[in-house]
Structure 1
Amino acid sequence: MAVRAAVLPAVGEPLEITRIELPAPGPGQVRVRLAAAGVCHSDLSLANGTLRVPVPAVLGHEGAGTVVAVGEGVTHLAPGAPVVLNWAPACGDCRACARGEVWLCGNALNGAAAVHAHTTDGTALHPGLSVGAFAEETVVPATCALPLPDGIPLTDAALLGCAVLTGYGAIHHSARVQPGETVAVFGVGGVGLAALQAARIAGAERIVAVDVSADKEELARGAGATDFLLASPQTPREIRALTGAEGVDAAVECAGVATAIRAAWESTRRGGRTTVVGIGGKDQQVTFNALELFHWGRTLSGCVYGDSDPARDLPVLAEHVRAGRLDLKALVTERITLDGIPSAFENMLAGKGGRSLVLFEDAG
């Protein structure tokens, strides 16, 4: 059956909204009808070559939908089941998985090299980040489909698959924010907004949001920020002024920009934690001198997928949503169709808005 999808024909080329042919699910696979898919900065990074992806590919990795068919051997899911797509399914066999660090699984993205669909003229297509969620339907390994906990609207649930797991995990798993601590979040996009909400849930006393756009202030404060700063060379000094000349206990960088990473580092107190979530290019070089590394005693760490285990953390996030502590709708600033994805990419490049959410018709 042919479905509409957003196809990246080659790295650096514009997306093409076209029809593709999906096969029936094979052994260990499921076919999912998408209800919604978030437009993530990682999709833009795949499109422009910052992250490598086999092409041509159907992009999109943050989504939720309904199972419409299952392949041989799939017993934990059945047609009609609502699911959240998991773009990084852990293999369970590698060293990272053995250590419990499933977010670092070396085999999680092997599915991106597979052929999961074809164009109507027969050209083979790969699923972006193993999922291919920018399509009305997709076929994925059953390990890429997590049962949606009760009480979560299917369209809202799409955000759980990447932005929320990443932002929440950055605060709770990587930065390990404790009640009464101070936090700075650099970059108020979808992940940054999730991180701000997570910092509030963690009981942070002061939460400083930093962005290049003054238009983000209302969004940031709505997500839990107690203070908002427009990014500038003076940002670290301003943050220290807000925290008794000390700096924040934890800074989380969500933009993947060298200047923001450096500013986050300089905004962190002596002995504090700086966590880098944003995906920057190889040209984004950050430098430190040996004396400051010794003197400040800070921890600088990368953060992949929020150091999250989706199977473990999805029920936790769902409980926060049901209790009203986590507002998924507040992360979305634009609801679009497949045809609106190129404009959503342009907005991300311009630093506008939070998450753009693709809504699919007849999602069931």
Structure 2
Amino acid sequence: MVHTRGAVIRNAPGKYEVVDLEVDDPRPGEIEVKMVASGLCHSDDHIATGDIPAGRYPFAGGHEGSGIVTRAGANTKGLAEGDHVVFSFLPSCGHCRWCSSGMQNLCDLGAGLLTGARWGEDSTRLKLASDGTPVGQMCGISTFCETTLVSQDSCVKVPDDVPLEVACLVGCGVGTGWGSAVNAGGVEPGHTTIVMGVGGIGINAVQGAAHAGAGNVIAVDPVALKRDAALRLGATHAVETMEEATEIAHQFTNGQGADQTIITVGVLKPDHVGQAMASIRKAGTVVVTALGDIQSTEPLPVSLADVTLFQKRIQGAMFGMSNPNWDILRQLELYRSGALKLDELVTNTYTLDQVATAYEDMHAGRNVRGVVRY
């Protein structure tokens, strides 16, 4: 057993607080990792607000991280002490229907992401040091811990020369945004693409659309800091509202509309889908990547005639339709070649004790992506 510290939510709504924890020894198929960095993704804030309910509390947050293996249990696919790893927030078993057909992002193990326990079990791997209360793990990894214990199914070994301080970002935000444009949106050379919301996910949808050859990449965000970042990282236009973005798209498409609109706002509302549908052309695609209250059944303000008569498509995107065991390494190679920007994504860095402050900064529009560095 190892003693560590981690940021937990005791109940929702609530704020992250740092507590002393005990981490179990690795079991077969598990590895212990000393964290180097963790991205501060909006999904962990959804845990704090209660938009995404956790299976148990206390719940240790964080699902976008990188670190160095300190111990490995038996049967860990060649992972060993000293290896550098990036976590995939979506585990991949490698043999279910979805993994076997090239859709690792939909692996059946994903059903256990919010239970707090290891897949198929009811037991956790973390406990409060004060009284032994079981602590749930976000996505089975909890990157807001100085040391964590994870399944081999959540780990991708990466080259030692890739800086882990920014490699953590490919474990969620980069792949989700990039893939939302390239995979789910099907951006092609010459397309006109709207990206609605340019935070830690949307900024990478901008990068993905630009990389795929979109002639016009229109970033939409009310925060000037994020619009400026979008222009530096591939957007051709950056505006405050969807009305402006739709008008620009019409100018470039003879009034038809964008080829795809990618929704990457911080908190998804039905109206966002309605605005996106109104912005695209016939046979265009709306990619819904953002999350809001996942228990909401509020109807979408979408014309069924638009769907049928104009062949418009609403496409969900989990982790940008990525295959993490391949795409994480591929994106790091793109980073090495200069085709993918990672260093430029990090607006501010924080200590573990500043996690709650970091989310206050995110809500105040002071961050594109914050990163905890251990």
Q: Per the shorter chain, which TM-score range?
A: over 0.9
| Aligned match of 1:87 | 89
TM-score when normalising by structure 2: 0.91
| Aligned match of 2:14 | 13
| Aligned match of 1:202 | 212
Report the more deviating stretch, 325-334 or 337-346.
337-346
Taking the TM superposition and a 5 Å limit, the aligned residue runs for 1:277-292 are 277-281=289-293, 282=296, 285-292=299-306
Q: Quick one: which of 113, 118, 127 aligns to 2:117? A: 113
The secondary structure found in structure 2 opposite 1:190 is coil
Query: Within 1, Cα distance between the matches of 2:367 and 2:249?
Result: 23
| Aligned match of 2:254 | 244
Cα contact 1:151–1:322 (8 A) shared by 2: no
| Aligned match of 1:318 | 332
Deviation at 1:44, TM superposition (A): 0.9
Q: Quick one: which of 278, 284, 288 aligns to 1:276? A: 288
Cα 1:248–1:226 change in 2 (3 A) is same
RMSD value, Cα: 1.8
Cα 1:26–1:170 change in 2 (3 A) is same
Query: Within 1, Cα distance between the matches of 2:300 and 2:221?
Result: 19
Cα distance per residue 1:159-195 (max 9 Å; x no partner): 0100011111111111111112111111100111111
| Aligned match of 1:306 | 320
Cα 1:328–1:174 change in 2 (3 A) is same
Deviation at 1:10, TM superposition (A): 1.4
Cα contact 1:207–1:227 (8 A) shared by 2: yes
TM-score when normalising by structure 1: 0.94
AA paired with 2:361?
N
Query: Within 2, Cα distance between the matches of 1:274 and 1:149?
Result: 36
Report the more deviating stretch, 230-239 or 170-179.
230-239
Cα 1:349–1:52 change in 2 (3 A) is same
| Aligned match of 2:354 | 340
| Aligned match of 1:229 | 239
Deviation at 1:26, TM superposition (A): 1.3
5+ residue gaps in structure 2?
119-123
| Aligned match of 1:327 | 341
Cα contact 1:91–1:108 (8 A) shared by 2: no
| Aligned match of 1:76 | 78
Query: Within 2, Cα distance between the matches of 1:29 and 1:216?
Result: 38
Deviation at 1:12, TM superposition (A): 1.1
Cα contact 1:212–1:351 (8 A) shared by 2: no
Query: Within 2, Cα distance between the matches of 1:75 and 1:228?
Result: 45
Report the more deviating stretch, 201-210 or 84-93.
84-93
Deviation at 1:62, TM superposition (A): 0.1
Cα contact 2:37–2:165 (8 A) shared by 1: yes
1:168 and 2:178 aligned? yes
| Aligned match of 2:121 | none
Q: Quick one: which of 133, 136, 155 aligns to 1:126? A: 136
| Aligned match of 2:221 | 211
Query: Within 2, Cα distance between the matches of 1:170 and 1:254?
Result: 9
Query: Within 1, Cα distance between the matches of 2:245 and 2:178?
Result: 24
Percent of aligned pairs sharing the same letter: 32
Cα contact 1:268–1:274 (8 A) shared by 2: yes
Cα contact 1:149–1:318 (8 A) shared by 2: no
Report the more deviating stretch, 330-339 or 154-163.
330-339
AA paired with 1:35?
V
Cα distance per residue 1:123-168 (max 9 Å; x no partner): 1111111111001110001121110135421111000100011111
**How many matched pairs?**
360
Query: Within 2, Cα distance between the matches of 1:14 and 1:168?
Result: 30
| Aligned match of 1:39 | 40
Query: Within 2, Cα distance between the matches of 1:283 and 1:11?
Result: 20
| Aligned match of 2:278 | 266
AA paired with 2:241?
A
Deviation at 1:351, TM superposition (A): 4.1
AA paired with 1:127?
Q
Query: Within 1, Cα distance between the matches of 2:373 and 2:65?
Result: 10
